[in-house]
Chain A
Amino acid sequence: MDILKIFLYLLVYPGLLFLFVYSTFVEWVDRKLYAKFQNRMGPMHTGSHGLLQPIADFVKLMAKEDIVPKEADKKLFNAVPILALTSVLTAGLLLPVWHFSDTFQSATSFQGDIIVIAYLLSLPSFAYFLAGWASASMYAAIGGVRVLTLLFAYEVPMFLAILSPAVMAGSWRMAEIAAYYQAHPWHLLINIFAFAVAVITLQAKLERVPFDIPHAETEVVGGAFTEYSGRKLAMFRLLADIQMVVGAGMIAALFMGGFPGGLIPGFIWFILKTLIVVFILAAMRAVTARLRIDQMISFSWKWLAPLALLQLVIVIFLKGYLQ
């Protein structure tokens, strides 16, 4: 029975099938919001109101010819999308999609899973760099180098930002952190700076405007993905969507009180809270221009990292005060 449950968690919810379907829905929401902000319509015809458009895009890419450049390192070139996709899917399994309680254990929840999920979410960036490096194209090489430079900029503020609610709650386990904030909802407001930093660095991790420097279309054609086509490109695009879901889920679990109440209410809370984060990300995408890599680094180290540090200091003080 347990084996069956594990397979259910892995394949259906919160595993493969759920992440796949929900990430396409989230991409649809993002595209529709982005279009509405720009006074246009977004996808309209595939499925009712274009709901099936992301799936249609995925299927179309899967059906296209898969070209590997002659000079490219074939093994690495082929392996990288799969590696990146698996790491992000594994990260998705760690989300506390139902509330921690003695009767209803979360799918996979253990002390320290907040560090593991952050680590797994940063593996795709290395995968992008390897993809760019293995492609033997100068645009891809520039794109790959930019991915790593971007990583230097946002990784530290991101870790500091997700540290603050953990310190406040006194635990390294996401389900316990969510439970703490369910018990003390006003403490959510203490983490407001960390929330801002976390959302901005999530936008950087997802490589969306204003941080889509590595694959800036008008500068380096496709960045690390220039030489990818067909199935591998479909996997990269899918992985970007799933990363958005997992990142939004992580932020919702840490900063918005998690997903309490068991299976069904937890599911509804998950959808709701991740959609709020997606709304903020889509609005950020619509109102900004793309930054240059040196501007991003100076912005990150001048503003984001100090803000996250300030938040940490506030949390430490308040924790001592409230004890």
Chain B
Amino acid sequence: MSTFILPVGPQHPALKEPTSFRFLVDGETVVDADLRLGYNHRGIEKGCEERTYIQDLYLLERVCGICSNVHMTVFAQGVEKLMGIEPPKRGLFIRCLMGELERVHSHLLWLGVAGHEVGFDTFFMYTWRDREIVEDILEMVSGNRVNYGMQTFGGVRRDLDEMQIRKVLDGIAALKARTPYYLNIGASEPTLVARIAGVGKLPKAKALELNAAGPTTRASGVDFDVRKDDPYAGFGEHIPFNIVTDEGGDVLARVVVRAKELMESYNICEYILKNLPSGEIRVKAPRKVPEGEVVSRAEAQRGECIHYIRSNGTDKPDRVKVRAPTLANWPATLYMLRGGYVADIPIVMAAIDPCLSCTDRMAIITDPKGNQKVWNWETLRQYGIDFYRKRGIKL
């Protein structure tokens, strides 16, 4: 068979969210890869401009289901800087705790999904069973399993009492006992190692050049972590932890990095709970935010999450821009996919932990002739109305 184009997506069992890949395939080898994003664009950034800051907190929380807390944290941090207020210590520690608990839940989820992509469903079921422990903890602490709604301007919204702290510590201890088993299996089950070792190699130089983020780049030996390099929330108070890196650069290294990050997160959570300072959890925040612009960032589960917020003195933001870490990882993924096998496509894509809901903002597709039209709000709206009218749907 000569080369042909294999489409993966927008609908495909390997993808959890719609993305459009076009692979140029020669037999079983991928010769070239191309990507088109934008299928999960929901207009959240525009929606932020029409809502007050308080309402935007909850809108930005719903950018992604797995990284919801991180987006809320980054936004709250940024607006706090604009307002010029500083949350109390206990609030910062609880903010940090929520971030780490979310990291635990996300990495356990990822381990299961990676297992499923290579056909190892038993691994998937076991990791997700253990993930229920952390989900129950999150439900008890925040009131919901997803979209915790804990962060607000000036601190956190809910406090932890003694009984909750004990329950969280018990859950973390149970997880601490279970997680090394998965690291063990990841390194010693022959079929699993055969699928993930040596696959999707990203050398350190390429990782730096293509600007990869998060565990993807840490698995190639780059030790960049926003928690150490630009501390935020409770990390500014010197909560001790280690950055986890690995020199392998392949999918196995990413599994190892995430499993070890799980152990680090357990240690951070235990430190926070045992050393929780007493006091208030929040300070009062004004409704109108003074004029200014701010860039705020945090270490999401997948890398560095950046928000840019510009305010104009009213109670609605002027512009909110969200850059999620997965966007930074896509060029690196295309590099990894070229030259690999068709069978490796799902696991290499899953190895960067793609979160399309986080990534997709508006996609501009340039005309090959170079005439790039910029559309404003009215043109876009009219285009939508005409599109449906042409097909006989009255609007």
Contact = CB atoms under 8 A, between A and B. Distances in A.
B346 A219 contact: yes
B44 interface: no
A213 B14 CA distance: 14
B122 A293 contact: no
Interface stretch (A81-89, A245-253, A284-292): A284-292
B129 A288 contact: no
Contact of A210 (B117, B119, B125, B341): B119
B246 to A, nearest CB: 20
Interface stretch (B97-105, B186-194, B225-233, B373-381): B186-194
Given A210-B119, A287-B122, A293 B28 contact: yes
A209 B116 CA distance: 12
A292 B343 contact: yes
A210 B189 CA distance: 12
A289 B192 CA distance: 5
Chain B facing A: main interface SS: helix
Contacts of B341: 292, 294
A68 B343 CA distance: 27
Contact of A219 (B116, B191, B194, B345): B345
B14 to A, nearest CB: 4
B119 A40 contact: no
Given A138-B6, A142-B342, A291 B195 contact: yes
Interface in B105-125: 115-123, 125
Contacts of B12: 221
Interface residues of A, number: 28
A38 interface: yes
Nearest to A213: B343
Interface in A207-225: 209-210, 212-213, 216-221
B122 A216 contact: no
B388 interface: no
B122 A37 contact: yes
B119 A209 contact: yes
B121 to A, nearest CB: 7
B191 A290 contact: yes
A145 interface: yes
A323 interface: no
Interface in B121-143: 121-123, 125-126, 129
A218 B343 CA distance: 9
